[in-house]
Amino acid sequence: MGGGNMLYIQLGIMAVVVYFFMIRPQQKRAKNEKEFESNLKVGDKIVTKSGFHGKVSEITENSTAIIIETMAGKLKIERSAISLEMSAALNKKA
């Protein structure tokens, strides 16, 4: 009878460990990514997840897509396709 209770305690501890080491960091990362996407503004230098470097030239009306200016022209991409803002990264080093 005592062994059954111990099993439930161990399962509970495992659930807490999984939450703090897997679920919570993923939620925090998603929150930071969403905040990053919402703070983009015209003139920011960015890098997309596919490797394109460019500068934000326009934010569309519905705010789900942006237009970036590259050396080859202008591209319309989704906000979720942006991986890094170069303006902030360059300012941190200085």
- Of the pLDDT bands very low, low, confident and very high (cuts 50, 70, 90), residue 37 is confident
The closest of 72, 22, 66 to 40, measured between CA atoms, is: 66
Is there a single domain that holds both residue 69 and residue 26? no
Is there a single domain that holds both residue 45 and residue 82? yes
CA distance 56 to 65: 11
Domain count, the chain: 2
Is there a single domain that holds both residue 22 and residue 32? yes
Residue 2 corresponds to which tokens in the numbers above?
Answer: 């005592």
Pairwise pLDDT comparison (75 vs 38), residue with the higher score = 75
Residue 61 corresponds to which tokens in the numbers above?
Answer: 């009306």
Which domain, by its residues, includes 75? 41-94
Can you tell me the mean pLDDT for 16-44? 88
